[in-house]
Structure 1
Amino acid sequence: MPSAGRSTMTTTPEPMVTGSAPPTVHAAERRLHPMSWLFVLLAQLRQFVVPLVALLVFGRGDRNELWPLIGVGVLVLAAVWQYFTFRYGVAGDALLVRKGLLERSVRVIPFARIHNVALQQSLLHRLFGVAEVRLESAGGKKPEAEMRVLKLDDALALEQLVRHRGQASAVDEVGAPSTPAVPEATTLLQLPLGEVVRHGLVSNRGLIVVGAGVAGLSQISPRLLPNLFERWGEVLFGYAGSHDFGIAGYALAAASLAVLAVALLRLLSVLLSLLQYYGFTLRESGRRLTVERGLLARWRTSASRRRIQAWTLYEGLTHRLLRRRSLHVDTAVAEEQQQQRALRELAPIATPQACDRLIAHLLPKADWAGQAWRPIPVHNWWRLFLPGMPWILVVGGVAGWRFGAWGLLAVPWLAWSAYAARQHARRAAYAVNDQLVAVRGGWWSRWWRFAEIDKLQAVSLSVSPLDRRCGTATLWLDTAGATPMGPSLRIRFLPTDEARALHDTLAATLSRRPLRW
């Protein structure tokens, strides 16, 4: 994707018009790309693809089956209508978006409110030289504006305009006399092809895709997969029986199939990583970060550094074998687009040293490398083991009742769970300084979760009945933009006095400092 320097969009903003009349947009207001109706139509038809294909393939030629095509025609007219009635322009320190002709709407979006600019290019977008643009804010369920689609040069120019005007608005808020100079973009991280392949090896995206495929096939035909496995089993066991395989032969065949399945899943994960992370580049321009990635489809998203709410370092078992880590962040953007288009990955995969350098560069006052970690009391390990013990006993009892001696496998399973719980407790720790609060955990898969104290939304102390019995408490630290899939920013099993002292210290610090988004 070309850099923002290619932009050709020029605007001369006029002052915002107050009063009841709608704001005046600059005369050089712009339309969408002439082929935008096609992309709007394809997006609307996406949910009707399966019924339409079924109609065309399995239809019996009855004229009544053609009635749904009238709906397609209506969608075509609506897409063309949007092209002719959609306008956007600049007025003062805001972007104005006009929609409709008979029923008109004018949306005024201050540049300072726009927290994230996301550009997306599918393969079809790249063929037409266009891009889809979404302007997102910290709150709300939907983007502030969605432009489907703009010329690529106009999309990049709009991104640059939002970035520069947003910086100017932020400077004006603190009383600066003029607009800041445009900083040069510097590359903080770039993933070569080998790193993208490593990312595929450490991820489980292939398993997710296979699971989704199995679920989809089960919806089409519930007996399709069982019949397939039964037929496959008949062929394998028939082949094994004809060659007089013994127990060792069956075990070797099963192990070979398992290795083959794992290899195919990893290969699929590598292919998915190439599609999504090829050419991954993290750049910094002033206080704004921009990520660009993708092989066929290209994603380009940017957000201000001050919108980063929390950080997560992750290191799985395969990561450690390859001496790599992943660095993710939570940003305050529209919830609907957090998972796909928000700036969430600063380093999908990188060396521990590279991750530490990124943290030190973006959080220079936090002293991440010099954190003094305070361990959680190890004698609470049994509380990590306790929740899973009833399930192991139930499964072992059912297995013993149904399969006899196989139920005894619950005994080593219990021993392993207790050992794993103790290892988790030994690694659990937290760290607090004037700028940062951090928590670490995990054993085979390790993680570090941390946030600037200024970004904390709430600090709460909870004491369960078991906590009161053990003289402990849990400290919860809430931030904006947190995902439920990641580790929580909480400190568990602290002695009550220590937890209350830490709670009071953090609460007092937050009360003295203004909340930053």
Structure 2
Amino acid sequence: MGQLKRYHPLNILFDFWTLIKSTFFIVMILFVINIGSEATWVKYGRIIFCAVIVLAIVSIFYKWFTQKYAADNVSFYLYKGLLNKSERTIPYSKIHNMQRRQTFIHKLFGLTSVVFETSMSDADASIKFEVISKKELDDLETKIHHSDSMEFEETDETDPAVKQEPANRTVHFRPTRKDTVKASFTSLSFLVLIPIVFSVSSDIKDIFDVESKAKEILMSITATWWIFTLLIVGVVILSVAIGVVRTFIKYGRYEIASDDHTIFISKGMLNKSTFTISKDKVQAIEITQSVIKRVLGLAEVKLISAGSVGEDEAETNSLYPFLPMGRAYAMVSEILPEYEVTPEMHHLPRKSLWVRLLKPSWLWIVATIALVYFKPPVLDIEQAWWIISIGLFVIIYALRILDYVNTRYVLNEGFVQFKQGSMQTTMFVSKRKKIIEVEISRTRLQKRFGLSSVNMVNRAKPVRHTSIEDVPVTMGNDFHKWYVERSKEIEIE
């Protein structure tokens, strides 16, 4: 076991900053907005708040003093507690991915944060370092890599379009300015100005009586067409500029790279985050396309692993959300040569459509019963309830038809590939040896039409269930036989 040591002292500062952020609004209410109040709830609220703050501060120092860790060439060793001590040993082999994150405050001190995600399912499955020096983190990464017997050898450069980096790292993609502009439109980030305008106008309206003045100004603007045109053009330009800047801040310095054993995905200008995963830890690949992305020929490729991948902006397991479709397929082959994405797939038979149309929609049935009972008037139309019911029926069954059209599947030796979805399509690709469970089921309606449903389970957080419904029963049988062959491929860790 390596040397036992405490976490970085600046953890205390970061915990203080977290405490300040979480209590900011309470401080504003108790000590600013109600500064001169003698109300009972304010008095007792201040006393309770001060007591809680004191306990929180003591807890921050106690946590830093009692929590320690060590790392050798095989495992992490985590210790915490003073009276009730707990010890945990986590082998490096259990780590599925690593997420670096460097906020503006981290940059000021030349530090970073990291989360090592494991395949364990308990509450303490993640190993977190809120503050750690870059040198120490690099040393930990080296130990983890060497524990998997990863050898970093020189390889020849076969593709002139692929840039070689030090340490045998190949950069597969860096977005250009054109990619950033296209991403800002695809993500609709330029629409961020609309809620801001409405929010500001609402606040002004609460303070000043501007409705009558606004009408006068609007009438004068619309009366002069060129002023109105300039105003619209100015708003559009400002919206686009805000969208591009926002996208650039979020996806700036985006980079997808890999070496012989590891994939690296980094992004962010102000807050930089990096997702690192061993290639053999990738459980599956997910390729999604929204309606806009399908029109523009773009796609998002995500790597599915048994470890968590973060939340919101910290989620960095995506191979850039706005990749051209052809480039997305090619990049999967470049980064993960063992995976295959097959463009040609089998469509569902026509009888699958009839099964989907014959299934009752409980959402429509319940909504229609409620509409018949309440008969709510909409836009002063007394009979609007049956119009809403018909509209809901058309939407539900139109989505079912679209899902039927988009649903496809293929078994390709050691791989399975499912694609489905109505408005947004998702293609799921997994290796046979990464699937831990399969289930073939049939409803009474499916039996009448000679169809079945296939469900497979992959390791992920939470466990990933992927199913495809209304496939021919022969495909279900073939899938079961195909999965049985997994026993020849699995390796005991």
* TM-score bracket relative to the smaller structure: 0.7 to 0.9
TM-score normalized with structure 2 length = 0.77
Q: Distance in 2 between matches of 1:113 and 1:36?
A: 26
Instruction: Decide which of 123, 130, 134 is 1:148's aligned counterpart.
Output: 130
Q: Shift of the alpha carbon at 1:478?
A: 1.5
CA shift digits 1:398-450 (9 cap, x unpaired) = 55896146554765775565555434323321011112111122355333222
Q: Shift of the alpha carbon at 1:108?
A: 2.4
Instruction: Decide which of 436, 449, 454 is 1:470's aligned counterpart.
Output: 449
Instruction: Decide which of 167, 171, 186 is 2:170's aligned counterpart.
Output: 186
Secondary structure (helix, strand or coil) at the match of 1:481 reads coil
Q: Shift of the alpha carbon at 1:479?
A: 1.2
Instruction: Decide which of 273, 276, 280 is 2:247's aligned counterpart.
Output: 273
Secondary structure (helix, strand or coil) at the match of 2:322 reads strand
Preserved CA contact (<8 Å) 2:192 2:239: no
CA shift digits 1:60-101 (9 cap, x unpaired) = 357762552343344334333444444433334223334455
Classify 1:294/1:365 alpha carbon distance in 2 versus 1 (closer, same or farther; 3 Å).
Answer: closer
1:505 matched to 2:481: yes
Instruction: Decide which of 14, 25, 30 is 2:2's aligned counterpart.
Output: 25
Instruction: Decide which of 350, 368, 379 is 2:341's aligned counterpart.
Output: 368
Classify 1:239/1:52 alpha carbon distance in 2 versus 1 (closer, same or farther; 3 Å).
Answer: same
How many positions carry a matched residue from both structures? 460
Instruction: Decide which of 440, 460, 469 is 1:492's aligned counterpart.
Output: 469
Q: Distance in 2 between matches of 1:266 and 1:465?
A: 53
Unaligned runs of 5+ in 1: 1-23, 172-178, 218-223, 246-252
Query: CA RMSD for the aligned pairs?
Result: 4.4
Classify 1:327/1:180 alpha carbon distance in 2 versus 1 (closer, same or farther; 3 Å).
Answer: closer
CA shift digits 1:188-245 (9 cap, x unpaired) = 222234423433322267889999999xx9xxxxxx89x97xx8888777888x79x9
1:403 matched to 2:385: no
Classify 1:358/1:483 alpha carbon distance in 2 versus 1 (closer, same or farther; 3 Å).
Answer: farther
Q: Distance in 2 between matches of 1:305 and 1:198?
A: 30
Q: Distance in 1 between matches of 2:484 and 2:144?
A: 36
Moved more, 288-297 or 498-507: 498-507
Classify 1:379/1:500 alpha carbon distance in 2 versus 1 (closer, same or farther; 3 Å).
Answer: closer
Secondary structure (helix, strand or coil) at the match of 2:381 reads helix
Q: Shift of the alpha carbon at 1:326?
A: 1.1
Q: Which amino acid aligns with 2:327?
A: A
Q: Distance in 2 between matches of 1:212 and 1:344?
A: 30
Q: Shift of the alpha carbon at 1:33?
A: 3.1
Q: Which amino acid aligns with 1:463?
A: R
Classify 1:127/1:143 alpha carbon distance in 2 versus 1 (closer, same or farther; 3 Å).
Answer: farther
TM-score normalized with structure 1 length = 0.73
1:377 matched to 2:349: yes
Secondary structure (helix, strand or coil) at the match of 2:136 reads helix
Instruction: Decide which of 408, 429, 432 is 2:408's aligned counterpart.
Output: 429
Q: Which residue of 2 aligns with 1:352?
A: 325
Moved more, 452-461 or 114-123: 114-123
Preserved CA contact (<8 Å) 1:310 1:450: yes
Q: Which residue of 1 aligns with 2:430?
A: 451
Secondary structure (helix, strand or coil) at the match of 2:480 reads helix
Preserved CA contact (<8 Å) 2:73 2:144: no
Pairing of 1:52-71 with structure 2 (within 5 A): 52-60=27-35, 65=46, 68-71=49-52
Q: Which residue of 1 aligns with 2:262?
A: 288
Classify 1:286/1:353 alpha carbon distance in 2 versus 1 (closer, same or farther; 3 Å).
Answer: same
CA shift digits 1:264-296 (9 cap, x unpaired) = 887766554333322111221331112211121
Identical-pair percentage: 15
Displaced runs of 4 or more, over 6 A: 205-214, 231-240, 259-268
Q: Which residue of 1 aligns with 2:163?
A: none
CA shift digits 1:442-475 (9 cap, x unpaired) = 3553332221111112111122233234332111
Classify 1:158/1:366 alpha carbon distance in 2 versus 1 (closer, same or farther; 3 Å).
Answer: closer
Unaligned runs of 5+ in 2: 155-166, 223-227
Q: Distance in 2 between matches of 1:209 and 1:159?
A: 42
Preserved CA contact (<8 Å) 1:378 1:425: no
Moved more, 191-200 or 295-304: 191-200
